[in-house]
Amino acid sequence: MRSERLRLLLRDLTAGAAFGAMAISGQVPLWTMAVFLVALLLALAGRRPLSDGKLSAILLLLAVVLVYGAVLLEELGLVVAACITASLLTAQRLVSRPTGRTTDQVQLVSLLMIAGGAVLSADLLFALCLFVYAVLAVLAQGLSVVAEVPGGPLPPTGRVLRPLAVGVVLSLVGALTLFVLFPRLSWNVAARRAGASLGGATTGFADGLRLGGTGLLKSNPRVVFRARIDPDPGTEELDAYWVGRRFDVFDGVQWSSAGTRGGPSRQVLLGPTGPNLVRQEIDLLPAYGSRTLVALDTPVRFGDAESHQTTFSIRTEIYPSGDREVRLVGASEHVTYRAFSAVERGRLPSVSPAERARRLQLPQGLDPRIPALAEVLAEGAVGDRAIARQIERALQSRYAYTLELPGRVKDPLADFLFDRRAGHCEDFATALAVLLRTRQIPARVVVGFHGGERAAGEYLVRAGDAHAWVEAAVDDYVLRLDATPPQHRSAAGIGIAGWLLARWEALQIRWLDRVVEYSLSDQNRMVQRVRWKMGENPASPTSRRPDEGVAVALAVLAAAFLLAVLVGRRAASNDPAELGRRLSRLLRRGGRLGPKGWLDGARVDEVKLGPVREGIARYREARFGRRPLLPGEGRRLVRQARRALRGLVSPSAPGPRRPTFRA
């Protein structure tokens, strides 16, 4: 019974992998997980106490009624309720007395749980669970069709698993080929869904920017948003500033914004739009953790915001807040939207006297050494632009960058400029803004992100790319200034653990792009690349019609199907059952099945029927005598039998009848 125990073990592990595909979404209730895990552990230990399923069936029915009652009360989603039902049914079957019917039910409901996991999550962990499920399901299903031969034991487990391993490989290759080549229609409705996040949000914009922090965020590799840019810069590392919030009021320790909130709408305009705008499709991931929208400097329009839940998406409104900041109406873990930014900075919009006064305001009790330092750093420069650039360069060259800060101090700005002489981007930005204000140059601090790593045709921005810089009003224009040394503006070194996390999240992004969002246009581009590499040099590879890609995909799919058929036939040539079926067909066609069962050779030369009898004998040996067929032997025996029966006259026996051996 070793094969039987292995079959049950594989069946139970298959169900566990299918349940894991749902559980990684984080939407399956804890009590459901507890019930299923207890049932799975009992099954793996060989404990199946439910010999009579009537009581358990009644309890299961009661639980299902309660679950769907919660759906009617809108306390539970319909998809989640269906997943809970499948989990409870599988748990009940796992601890029931094992029969062929029970096994079939477990395998069927496991497939339903895999489908539920596909709906609930697009996370890369789902792909791992799906792979494990596929391998275990093929092995379990293959063992379930191995029946005991009357009068003999089951074949050795190793002999059964070897062909099943080949079947697993062929199944995975076939499924991958079908996925890549089969024309995509409109079923990729899960595009840009949020996967399960590895922990909570890692960044976000607070209502104020307080000096004296440790700067640990700079070493965080979590991807917080992804963006497609049109026109695409086409660089591997993006040297760009992503604007989030602007602060114009400084009290000596903390920055804040005094702007007012506008009304909610679907579109927010921040400035005049022109013909040369950079379009961005931005995807804020669960690790982002803020309602502030970001865009490339200088944004002029935001719109088309959508909040994505695990099973649906809904359009959401946005509103202007503070000093040219744009926020979402309501919180959401996963948001997509469009933003448009000007290629070049234009002239300053009209600024009220109150706004200009805020951008020149200095904190009470400002250390008198700071204005004196500004005068020294600006010595020799003529004009506001030259003064701003000279102070910027002085801070970059005379001060060091560090993430190891002592914590809160009474006057963090003076401590940075005169004592420590080292800090991170918030210190550099604050020092530059205050120094400019002492020279009567309006300035404010901007927080956002700097950089972007190219992956799968878009740019990934990490929590460690968070950054702060300065906007100054010079000669009626907005001048961006960054006193932080250039090599420290993006994410810092992250160590081996951070490197692994960064690689995992990059792989997750590629999974979403190459699998979850895989579409007909992707197939068409793939075909164009193949044709290009094969020697074709069209003037515009992207100008071909999508239906050409469909035709090529169908042709390749047909070729793959024929190859699979040929491989299957070759594998079946050494199968005793296939040999028996072929011999049976040959004998029926030639009328060689007499009234006594197998060959009625009373009127036929035994020598001529020798190859046929050899084939029958080898079939029985291979099927019941544990003497397997040699490679190619099955095809040889069938050919010999066909030649022997060709041209023989049928005996005067009644009409053909079925053979007496099992095929």
The answer to whether residues 8 and 116 belong to one domain is: yes
Tell me the torsion sign for CA atoms 591, 593, 596, 599.
Answer: positive
pLDDT of residue 291 exceeding 50: yes
For 590-612, the DSSP string reads: TT-B-TTSSB--TTS-TTTTHHH
Nearest Cα neighbor of 387 from 486, 472, 489, 477 is 472
φ/ψ (deg, to 5) at 315: -70, 145
For tokens 């469009």, the residue is 338
In contact, 505 and 464? CB cutoff 8 Å:
no
The answer to whether residues 396 and 253 belong to one domain is: yes
The answer to whether residues 625 and 496 belong to one domain is: no
Per-residue pLDDT tens for 293-327? 999 988 999 999 998 876 567 889 999 987 788 99
* 182 falls within a domain: no
The answer to whether residues 461 and 609 belong to one domain is: no
Domain boundary among 487, 508, 529: 508
* Burial class for 65, CB neighbours closer than 10 Å (0-12, 13-18, 19+): exposed
* 235 falls within a domain: yes
Identify the pLDDT of residue 538. Answer: 46
Nearest Cα neighbor of 624 from 659, 587, 660, 577 is 577
- The total of other beta-carbon atoms located within 10 Å of residue 600's CB is 18
Q: What is the domain range of residue 617?
A: 573-645
The answer to whether residues 270 and 407 belong to one domain is: yes
- Which has more confidence, 415 or 628? 415
When pLDDT is averaged across residues 370-375 and rounded to a whole number, the result is 94
Identify the pLDDT of residue 433. Answer: 95
The answer to whether residues 260 and 342 belong to one domain is: yes
Task: Report the alpha-carbon distance of residue 604 to residue 590 in Å, rounded.
Answer: 13
pLDDT of residue 190 exceeding 50: no
Identify the pLDDT of residue 644. Answer: 80
Q: Six-digit token pair at 337?
A: 């939207």
Using CA atoms in the order 83, 89, 93, 99, what is the torsion angle rounded to 10 degrees? -100
Task: Report the alpha-carbon distance of residue 115 to residue 109 in Å, rounded.
Answer: 10
In contact, 429 and 420? CB cutoff 8 Å:
no
Domain count, the chain: 3
In contact, 663 and 581? CB cutoff 8 Å:
yes
The answer to whether residues 233 and 381 belong to one domain is: yes
Identify the pLDDT of residue 655. Answer: 45
When pLDDT is averaged across residues 498-522 and rounded to a whole number, the result is 70
* 34 falls within a domain: yes
Domain boundary among 490, 508, 526: 508
Identify the pLDDT of residue 151. Answer: 44
Cα 357 versus chain centre, distance: 49
Mean pLDDT for the chain overall? 79
Q: Write out the H or E segment, with its range, that includes residue 303.
A: strand 299-308
For tokens 């869904």, the residue is 193
The answer to whether residues 228 and 348 belong to one domain is: yes
* 545 falls within a domain: no
Identify the pLDDT of residue 601. Answer: 46
Domain boundary among 454, 483, 508: 508
- Which has more confidence, 541 or 633? 633
pLDDT of residue 148 exceeding 70: no
Per cent of the chain over pLDDT 70 is 73
The 10 Å CB-count burial string (b at 16+, else e) for 12-48 is bbbbbbbbbbbbbbebbeeebeebbeebbebbeeeeb
Identify the pLDDT of residue 349. Answer: 67
Describe the crossing of helices 610-624 and 576-589 by its angle, rounded to 10 degrees: 150
The answer to whether residues 494 and 588 belong to one domain is: no
Q: Which of 206-215, 351-360, 516-525, 572-581 has the highest mean predicted lDDT (pLDDT)?
A: 351-360
* 172 falls within a domain: no
Residue 257 zone, left/alpha/beta (φ > 0; ψ -120 to 50; rest): beta
Per-residue pLDDT tens for 633-656? 888 888 888 888 775 655 444 444
When pLDDT is averaged across residues 281-296 and rounded to a whole number, the result is 89
Task: Report the alpha-carbon distance of residue 598 to residue 596 in Å, rounded.
Answer: 6
Task: Report the alpha-carbon distance of residue 571 to residue 156 in Å, rounded.
Answer: 19
* 133 falls within a domain: yes
The answer to whether residues 274 and 402 belong to one domain is: yes
* 14 falls within a domain: yes
* 27 falls within a domain: yes
pLDDT of residue 1 exceeding 60: no
pLDDT of residue 68 exceeding 70: yes
The answer to whether residues 504 and 577 belong to one domain is: no
- How would residue 614 be classed by pLDDT, with cut points 50, 70 and 90? confident
- How would residue 191 be classed by pLDDT, with cut points 50, 70 and 90? very low
Put simply, whether the predicted model's pTM sits higher than 0.85 gets the answer no
Identify the pLDDT of residue 194. Answer: 45
